[in-house]
Amino acid sequence: MSGSTLPAPPSLSDPAAFIREQTTLVSPPLVPELRLWTATEITPLWEATELLMQRTGIEPPFWAYAWPGSQALARFLLDQPQVVAGKRVLDVGSGNGLAALAAARAGAQVVANDVDPMSLVAVALNAEENGLSVEGLLADLTGGEVLVDADVVLVGDLCYDKNITERLLSWLRGRVAAGARVLISEPGRAFAPREGVRALATYTVPTTMELESRTERETVILELLG
Ligand SMILES: C[S@@+](CC[C@H](N)C(=O)[O-])C[C@H]1O[C@@H](n2cnc3c(N)ncnc32)[C@H](O)[C@@H]1O
């Protein structure tokens, strides 16, 4: 046996320490007002996350990036705080929480929701870093078992998967029928809704070749009409 030692596997007991070790504090290009724990490269972090979870074949570490969806939503809300100020806001599929944090900064009472427990750890760290308060909710709301009252529902970049999008859009239409305003930030994913929506704003979001195979993505804020 050689005398070399293997790195200790990351500890599930302290996922916040894992995030701090594996990422760095960065402002997303479109949102210089906020700083978030962000990965510089996807593959090493993905492998480290599999080690942390002691599982393979897991989803990419969505929580480690500000995707074009949340960048555009955050910019929209910070420039037009009246859209959410004083309102109850739900950010579905929050990832690193950027859109949720922008809503909180604009004066909303915010719930950040995701199905990935690591996302909610990242949201809490990012909220702390920016001196903002956001409640985390680990659930798949599209199942209908968990109910959250919200005046405004935010969705950033979730239409990349057919099954997720179908369930999500059906649930979101129910939210519109119940009186909520639903804003979907869409960077041109395959299953984005094309009918029953109106465009409110368009942003050109800088991206990386590694994540998006292109340097920018045109991202539209859509309001779901029902
Ligand atoms: C591409 S990331 C977008 C994250 C963030 N909204 C953004 O734009 O930066 C998609 C996120 O949706 C989450 N997600 C997928 N299905 C979901 C569901 N049914 N309910 C809530 N979150 C979900 C994933 O875990 C992931 O964090």
Secondary structure string (H, E, C) spanning 148-207:
CCCCEEEEECCCCCHHHHHHHHHHHHHHHHCCCEEEEEECCCCCCCCCCEEEEEEEEEEC
Determine whether the shortest distance from the Cβ of 98 to ligand 1 is under 6 A: yes
- Is-above-0.85 flag for pTM? yes
136 alpha carbon – ligand 1 mean position (Å): 13
Tell me, in angstroms, the distance from the centre of ligand 1 to residue 121's CA. 14
Tally of CB atoms within 10 A around 84: 26
pLDDT at 2: 38
The CA angle 109-111-113, to the nearest 5 degrees, is 165
Cα 185 to ligand 1 centre (Å) = 12
- Residue-level pLDDT at 50: 81
pLDDT of residue 8: 54
Low-confidence ranges of the chain (pLDDT < 50): 1-4, 7
- In the reported structure, the alpha carbon of residue 115 is separated from the centroid of ligand 1 by a whole-number distance in angstroms of 7
Taking the centre of ligand 1 as the mean of its atom positions, its distance from the CA of residue 63, in whole angstroms, is 8
User: How many whole angstroms from 159 Cα to the centroid of ligand 1?
Assistant: 9
Output the pLDDT for position 32: 98
Atom 11 of ligand 1, residue of closest alpha carbon: 93
CATH topology of domain 66-224: Rossmann fold (3.40.50)
CA-nearest residue, atom 27 of ligand 1: 95
Nearest ligand 1 atom, CA 67: 9
Question: Which atom belonging to ligand 1 lies closest to the Cα atom of 158?
Answer: 10
**Residue pLDDT, tens place only, 21-61:** 989 999 999 999 999 999 988 778 878 888 878 877 778 88
User: Are 151 and 126 a contacting pair, CB within 8 Å?
Assistant: no
Which two structure tokens, joined as six digits, stand for 90?
């739900």
Residue type, 96: N
The finding on whether 97 has its CB within 6 A of some atom of ligand 1 is no
For ligand 1, is residue 31 a contact (CB within 6 Å)?
Answer: no
